[in-house]
Chain A
Amino acid sequence: DTEVTQTPKHLVMGMTNKKSLKCEQHMGHRAMYWYKQKAKKPPELMFVYSYEKLSINESVPSRFSPECPNSSLLNLHLHALQPEDSALYLCASSQVSAQPQHFGDGTRLSIL
């Protein structure tokens, strides 16, 4: 689903670094999502934004901080991550009251 663009594709960071993942869509969708996928596991929901407001937080640790600056953009700010946070992070978007969800290609994150 190349209509949802994620940057960077790969990210290596230390446990004391601060970095951000970015996601952009131009399909006019008003719901955006962050998922985390560990190796050999299915994606798991982290956050949902509806109309630029946080509507679901799946008890994600505060070292992950989402932000939705406008209807097309979704960020995930990272700070003081742990090695177990290494994973593929997927962004998705959809209409608020209807599916399907469209996924980006993901950011593969490695924590040293």
Chain B
Amino acid sequence: GIQVEQSPPDLILQEGANSTLRCNFSDSVNNLQWFHQNPWGQLINLFYIPSGTKQNGRLSATTVATERYSLLYISSSQTTDSGVYFCASTSGGYNKLIFGAGTRLAVHP
């Protein structure tokens, strides 16, 4: 199956800073998703982005499927952005969602 690598594994920011999280895939992917898991364990859909660029408020994401990577941009970070960010995707014709190990983000006031 595909391998999903996320970087950086940990990130500490001051409130108001910008950041870029990266997700690399070992094989072609489809159905790529970005999630935010908050400290209470809720896994929140941020983007469904098999290719191209999307924006939602302070967050945006870009997937370059031909080069097997995706980026998540967080601008003007807030303390509520803290938590773990996961990228995940299926591969081939299967519904199995493979997750990366996550980026653990802490935003300090």
Q: Name A's B-contacting residues (CB within 8 A).
A: 1, 31, 33, 35, 37, 41-45, 48, 50, 55-56, 58, 88, 90, 92, 94, 96, 98-103, 105-106, 108
Contact of A106 (CB < 8 Å), options: B41, B99, B101: B41
Judge if B17 is at the interface, Cβ distance under 8 Å: no
Q: Could you list 22 examples of A-B contacts with CB < 8 Å?
A: A1-B44, A31-B95, A33-B97, A41-B101, A42-B86, A42-B88, A42-B101, A43-B43, A48-B95, A56-B94, A90-B43, A99-B33, A99-B90, A99-B95, A100-B45, A101-B33, A101-B97, A102-B45, A103-B35, A105-B41, A106-B43, A108-B41
Shortest Cβ distance from residue B83 to the other chain A in the assembled complex, whole angstroms: 12
Q: Which residue of A lies closest to B50 (CB)?
A: A99
The reply to whether B41 and A42 form a contact with Cβ atoms under 8 Å apart is no
For the complex, what is the distance from the CA of A35 to the CA of B30, rounded to whole Å?
Answer: 20
On chain A, the residues within 8 Å of B97 by CB distance are: 33, 35, 43, 45, 92, 99, 101
- Residues of the B chain whose Cβ atoms lie less than 8 Å from the Cβ of A105: 40-42
A56 and B96 contacting across the interface, CB-CB below 8 Å: yes
> In the bound complex, what is the Cα–Cα distance between A37 and B40 (angstroms)?
13
B44–A88 CB distance below 8 A = no
Contact call A99/B31, Cβ cutoff below 8 A: yes
Ranked nearest first, the 3 interchain pairs of A and B with the lowest CB-CB distance are: A42-B99, A99-B31, A100-B48
